[in-house]
Amino acid sequence: MASPLPEISPAAHPVAYLTDVEGLWEKLASFCRDNPHVSLEDGGRLVVRPGATFVYGGDALDRGPDGRRVVRTLLNAWREFPTQVVLLAGNRDINKLRLVRELSGHPLARTPEDMRRAPRPVLLRWIFANTMGARGAFEFRHSELAREDSAVSEEDVVDSFLEDLGPGGVLRDYLTACQLAHRIGNTLFVHGGVREESLGFVPSRGRVEGVDAWREALNGWYAEQLAAFAEGRLEGGVPDWEPLIAYQAPIPGQRVNPASVVYGRMADANNHPGLPSPGLIATLAHEGIHRLVVGHTPSGDCPSVLREGRFELILADNSYGRVEGASRVFLRDDSVCVEGGVVLEDGRHEQVRFQLALEDTSTPIGRTVLDTGHLVKGPLAGSGDWLLFRALPGFRVEQLSWSPSALAGRPLGSARAV
């Protein structure tokens, strides 16, 4: 169980993956620092080295004072390295499409009457806090604009979001550059998750057979929805892009949308990560997919790897962690490298670093301690102990250090399917 892990070699894994920066520049900067494939140069130009691919998994905005800068940096990298940069649209990116209508006299039906009559800055704050899970986004944008002009007003903040969504706006162009699903070799990338309800499903079109045909059709539908937004098309007063708004949001009254790869979750009600069902794993494997990589759902400070046979699920959301920087995931078809900081329950700061071959079944990484429910995340670089993780009710997490002897002999199995 405590067999030596292979030498860590991120440089030999040409796909670099990052997700859920959410307006925090330090997360993007720390990801690029000493990264063999992606760097920040000339004051913020993101450069992808020859032979490498950079995948950004979505959610560039909302929870930090650098959202516009992050979006612009990612978009410019895609423009400069169009065959090497993959951008996935997250819910925090797509939901901003709502603002053009809601700030021009068409608020949501559940918007209180006093908010409907309120000045635009008041209404925008209410939208962020009550319908987008983005309390503080208004102030973050104000802070970002104030770095360029100290006299910026609250109306200027509203205008900035609308400008970003207008013709030539940075967020409109960014969303146009994005996809909903992308495949590299045996790895499928989406923002939120893949469930039976979402695999093969394309809104307005129904079911599409075959993973690659479905992915192509889903991305095509997404592009059509963005075109409808850009043209301002309405039918009976209803926006033609309303299906995309519904697709990126939870089902009313719930926290998930299983039919959506954007707002699906690979986790239970406490955000403890879980595998796809055995049937879905078999379907993906039949199509040559042996790894699913997602963000969207926090699962502690560093990525969670879950394994079932030759199938691997990686959750790498960087939001709501206890560390300032971002984790790093490097991929190739046959193995993965993971690096990330973690703060344990006793306050210790540790680093998790490992390389894991897809065929390696000798390691406990990605397995669940059956009698406690903890996920074995990886080795702690400082001590050689194992990092164990468990999500608890109330969106709390538990991150513990177990010695190899404490883990030895414990019953290990696969994570439960969600």
- Per-residue tens of pLDDT for the chain, all 418 residues: 444 455 789 999 999 999 999 999 999 999 999 999 999 998 899 999 999 999 999 999 999 999 999 999 999 999 999 999 999 999 999 999 999 999 999 999 999 999 999 999 999 999 999 999 999 999 999 999 999 988 999 999 999 999 999 999 999 999 999 999 999 999 999 999 999 999 999 999 999 999 999 999 999 999 999 999 999 999 999 999 999 999 999 999 899 999 999 999 999 999 999 999 999 999 999 999 999 999 999 999 999 999 999 999 999 999 998 999 999 999 999 999 999 999 999 999 999 999 999 999 899 999 999 999 999 999 999 788 999 999 999 989 999 999 999 999 899 999 989 8
Q: Distances from the Cα of 394 to the Cαs of 249, 255, 303, 346, in angstroms?
A: 21, 14, 20, 20
Closest CA to 205 of 217, 196, 188, 194: 217
pLDDT of residue 7: 75
Q: Is 217 helix (H, G, I), strand (E, B) or coil?
A: helix
pLDDT of residue 294: 98
CB atoms within 10 A of CB 151: 7
CA 9/CA 14 separation, integer angstroms = 10
Closest CA to 301 of 93, 27, 25: 27
CA 336/CA 19 separation, integer angstroms = 16
pLDDT of residue 242: 97
Tokens representing 41 are: 């140069």
> Which residues fall within 8 angstroms of residue 386, CB to CB, at 6 or more apart?
364, 376, 377, 378, 379, 380, 401, 402, 403, 404, 407
Tokens representing 54 are: 């950079």
Tokens representing 223 are: 């592009």
pTM over 0.85: yes
pLDDT of residue 2: 44
pLDDT of residue 40: 97
CB atoms within 10 A of CB 317: 28
Q: Is 340 helix (H, G, I), strand (E, B) or coil?
A: strand
pLDDT of residue 383: 87
Which residue type occupies 114?
A: D
The domain limits of the chain are 10-364
Pairing of strands 238-239, 206-207: unpaired
pLDDT of residue 395: 87
DSSP assigned state of 88: B
Give the rounded distance of the alpha carbon of 381 from its chain centre.
25
CA 335/CA 377 separation, integer angstroms = 16
DSSP assigned state of 91: H
Q: Does domain 10-364 have CATH number 3.60.21?
A: yes
